Chains A and B, each alone.
Chain A
Amino acid sequence: MNAFSESLSLAAGLVAHLDAKLSGIVLLSLRVSLTATALAALVGLPIGAAIAVGRFPGRHALTIVLNSMMGLPPVVVGLVVYLLLSRAGPLGTFGILFTPTAMIVAQTILITPIIAALSRQVVADAWSEYREQLTSLGATTPSAALTLILDTRFALATVLLAGFGRAIAEVGAVMIVGGNIDGVTRVMTTTIALETSKGDLPLALALGIVLIAIVLIVNAVAQYLREWARTRYG
């Protein structure tokens, strides 16, 4: 218990004094996960909306696959991306293995199914309400899908925050494709794992505090956004 208290006190000091090493790790984590979330949104939102609004053979099977992929194990994603990006892999010529770019790729692959599956559900619910009206107004399927993405933007923002939460909290994929290189690819989760194994608990605990704080802030923002949107837009 004393060791825990001592570690907690040291961790609080690191956070309070904005320790340079700590700040660098946090900023890299945010850069990687925010970029991955943005890329996953670009791919996942249209896929989700298309499956929700479109009518094509295999749609239900695709929905099942997408829902299943929400549970992709990060280490498996990391392994596959590692094999693709390794020197002998099909994308080895890009030379991005053990760089933040590789970590962004892995996290994008990890959370795109989450964003696509959750946005499909959000847009499908809206489509059941709007379908007849939009059809009556002459909206085409792509136009209706875009309209629904815009109209459900606040619910979809929550979906994106869920994707971001998953990305920033995962450790397996970024550990494999990033290599956890100090000052280059070391992010919060990989640092926590490393420092814990080394017995340097204050830094690990400080990063844990920051990570939890980020998740709390993300959820607070999502909650505030929902409340504000309901009041402002109905």
Chain B
Amino acid sequence: MADAMVASGLPIVCAGIGVGHNGARLLHGIELTVERGACTLILGANGSGKSTLLRVLHGLAAPSGGTIAWGGSAHRPAGQAMVFQRAVLLRRSAAANIRYALDLAGVRGSEADARIDDALTEVGLRALAARSARVLSGGEQQRLALARVWALSPEVLFLDEPTASLDPGATHEIENVIGALHAAGTKIVMVTHNLGQTHRLADEILFMHEGRLVERAPADRFLKHPASREAAEFLEGELPW
């Protein structure tokens, strides 16, 4: 899935990452290496720093302390993509939204046409290719956001609660696409509050609490035997989600 022509952005190595905003410390001393392979889900209560960590990993937020490197480089690589909680789509057709992303990535002409067709087919939106993206339903918009990602064939995909506002049916469809992307070789790093989704998708868990990375564990072990008190409380529903 990942484009072999683009220099690898993996592993992503965070060393002592801290992020502050208006005097508040959002992240503290994050030591983390994100490697190829496992589907990684980030869990934690509201305000624990999950989304901030995701943005730092994607290069959208600059750390105020520590260092981050993508494949040994201090510059964010091209082979990354992100899907947000609410799909951000341009006021143009579904197909044109994907074409825009491909154009920025330097993919044009018949190659772009083929990728657009393939991506829309993959997410089941081929029939809506000419429909304006902003009038699609919430689930369709999120699938289109994933189709845009699919067409880009990213090496790493970050997702920030992509199913938070969707019904179970739409959530299931989104999870299928995420699974297909992962099966095709894309590294998945996803923030979620949904424990059912965690069971279905996660290979490993990063658990955040009050801006710190408290626990990193294989999903099965984390869900059955969390090592930290905070994670146990979270799984028992005693921490606010």
Contacts and interface: CB of A to CB of B under 8 A. Distances in A.
B104 A234 contact: no
Interface residues on A, range: 20 to 34
A136 B82 contact: yes
A233 B81 contact: no
Contacts of B60: 132, 135-136
B239 interface: no
Contacts of B55: 132
Interface stretch (A39-47, A67-75, A137-145, A195-203): A137-145
A132 B81 CA distance: 11
Contacts of B100: 137, 147
Given A132-B60, A138-B105, A234 B134 contact: yes
Contacts of B80: 136
B104 A129 contact: no
Nearest 6 CB-CB pairs, A to B?
A234-B134, A133-B88, A233-B91, A234-B135, A136-B82, A233-B132
Interface string A90-128: 000000000000000000000000000000000000000
A143 B91 contact: no
A17 interface: no
14 contacts: A132-B60, A132-B84, A132-B88, A133-B82, A136-B60, A136-B80, A136-B82, A137-B101, A138-B104, A143-B104, A147-B100, A154-B91, A233-B92, A234-B134
A136 B135 contact: no
B189 to A, nearest CB: 13
Given A132-B84, A133-B84, A233-B134, A151 B78 contact: no
Given A132-B84, A136-B58, A232 B104 contact: no
Given A130-B88, A136-B80, A154-B91, 14 more contacts: A130-B90, A132-B60, A136-B60, A137-B104, A138-B78, A138-B105, A151-B90, A151-B91, A152-B91, A229-B91, A232-B132, A232-B135, A233-B135, A234-B133
Interface of B: 55, 58, 60, 78, 80-82, 84, 88, 90-92, 100-101, 104-105, 132-135
A153 B55 CA distance: 30
Interface of A: 129-130, 132-133, 135-139, 143, 147, 150-154, 229, 232-234
A136 B91 contact: no
B140 to A, nearest CB: 12
Contacts of B84: 132-133
B51 to A, nearest CB: 11
B111 to A, nearest CB: 17
Contacts of A232: 132, 135
Nearest to B58: A136
A143 B92 CA distance: 16
Nearest to A140: B104
A147 B135 contact: no
A19 to B, nearest CB: 44
Contacts of A153: 91
Contacts of B81: 136-137
A159 to B, nearest CB: 16
A139 B92 CA distance: 17
A232 B130 CA distance: 12
A229 B133 CA distance: 13
Nearest to A133: B88
A127 B18 CA distance: 26
Contacts of A143: 104
Nearest to B87: A133
A150 B91 CA distance: 8
Contacts of A150: 90
A138 B100 CA distance: 11
Contacts of B105: 137-138
A143 B88 CA distance: 17
A185 B135 CA distance: 48
In this complex, the member of A136, A154, A229 whose beta carbon has the largest number of chain B beta carbons within 10 angstroms is: A136
Nearest to B152: A137
A139 B58 contact: no
Nearest to B80: A136
Given A135-B60, A136-B60, A147 B90 contact: yes
Given A136-B60, A138-B104, A147-B100, A234 B78 contact: no
Contacts of A233: 91-92, 132, 134-135
